[in-house]
Amino acid sequence: MLTINTKSRTKLLFLRNRESIFYSQFSILFLFVLLFTFNLQGQTSSFFKKADTLNIKRRNVVAITETTLAIGALIGLDKLWYSEYPRSNFQFINDNNQWKQMDKMGHFMTSYVVGKAGMDVLDWAGVSKKNQLIYGATLGFTFLTAVEILDGFSKKWGASWGDIIANASGTGLLIGQELLWNEQRIQLKYSFHQTKFAKIRPNTLGENFLQQALKDYNGQTYWLSANIWSFNKEGNFPKWLNLAFGYGAEGMLYGKSNPNNQLFQDPYRQFYLSLDVDLTKIKTNSKFLKTLFSTINFIKIPAPTLEYNSKGNFKFHFLYF
C-alpha cells in the first residue's frame, strides 16, 4: 500500500483545490459567453450570419477578444501554476515514450480544433481566406507554443519537441486541406468514456467526469473522421456521413514505464473503425443551429465500432463512446 507523508498530502490538496478553481473559472467564462451570445442574438437576427465582405467591427472584436483571452490565460498559468515551481534556463525534454503517445494526440487535435475555430470566426467577420489561414489557422499552434515556452523555463517540466511537432502537425492538417481542397474533408474528432483507472489515481487521472475527460488517457479516443461525400460528390452517399479511424490506449496508470502500470493489465494500444456524422453538413435554416453544429463538430458521434488492439484481439462495440 502506498503511503503519503503530511507534506505530500498538503501539496496534493493544494493542487486539487487549484484545479477546482481553474474549472470553476472556466465554467463561469463559458456561461458568460453563452449569455453574451444569446443577448446579441436577441438584439439582431443577423448576428450568426457570415459577413459577405470584410466587417471591420467584427474583425476588431475577434482580434481583441482572442488576444485578451490568450494573454489572460498565459498570465494566469504563469502566476497560478508555474510560479509554484522552480524556474530554470530554457530546456527541452524527451517525453515521446509516455502515455502511449496519447498526450501527443491531444496536442495534435487541440492545435487543429483551435485553429479551425480561429478560421471560422474570421470567416464570420468576412476576412479573406488568405488571412484566415495566416491569422486564424495558426491560432492553436501559436498559443500552444507559448505554453510550451512556459514549460521550457520550468525546472520541473521543460519544453517537448514531441509536443511542438504534434502542434505543428495539427495546424498542418488544417492548412493543408484548405490549400488542397478548400475544405476540411478529414476532421480531427474526440470521444471519451469513463474508466476504472481514474479511481485508482484520481489526482493524476481526474476526480470527476470533466477532469477525467481532460486527463484520463485510458478513456480518450482521437479520430480522423473523413466525409465520404466530399471524396465522391457524384455518388449517392448522404452528405453528412463520415468514416472514422480512431486511436486510443488503455491500462495506463503512469506515463512512464512503471510496475504499477501492470496492476490490472499491460498497457496496450487500440485502433478503431467506425461511422460518424459531419454535423456541419446537416441541412437547417437556423443560423444558430449551424453555429452550434460547427462548434461541437469536434465531438465524435457514438456509433457501432470495430476495435483491434495491440494484443492481437478484435472487439465489436454496438455503441462506442
Q: What would the pLDDT profile of 136-191 be if each residue is shown by its tens digit?
A: 999 999 999 999 999 999 998 899 999 999 999 999 999 999 999 999 999 999 99
pLDDT for residue 87: 93
pLDDT of residue 263: 62
Q: What is the pLDDT of residue 20?
A: 40
Task: Give the mean pLDDT of 249-275.
Answer: 83
Mean pLDDT check: name the lowest of 42-56, 66-80, 107-121.
Answer: 42-56
Secondary structure of residue 67 in the 3-state scheme? helix
Once rounded to an integer, what is the mean pLDDT over residues 261-280? 88
Residue 45: the pLDDT is 52
User: Looking at residue 11, what is its pLDDT?
Assistant: 42
b/e 71-85 (16+ beta carbons within 10 angstroms → b): eeebeebeeeebeee
Q: Which residues contact 37 (CB under 8 A, 6 or more apart)?
A: 47
- Can you tell me whether residue 249 is helix, strand or coil? strand
As a residue count, the chain comes to 321
C-alpha 221/C-alpha 105 separation (Å) is 9
Kind and range of the H or E element at 35? helix 6-43
Give me the pLDDT at residue 261, please.
62
**Strand 303-309 versus strand 159-160 pairing type:** unpaired
d(CA 149, CA 164): 10
The reported pLDDT for the residue numbered 186 is 98
Cα 104–chain centre separation: 11
pTM of this structure: 0.86
Give residue 27's pLDDT band: very low, low, confident or very high (50, 70, 90). very low
Confidence band of 66 (pLDDT split at 50, 70, 90): confident
Residue 5 buriedness (CB in 10 A; 0-12 / 13-18 / 19+): exposed
Residue pLDDT, tens place only, 200-242: 999 999 999 999 999 999 999 999 999 999 999 988 899 999 9
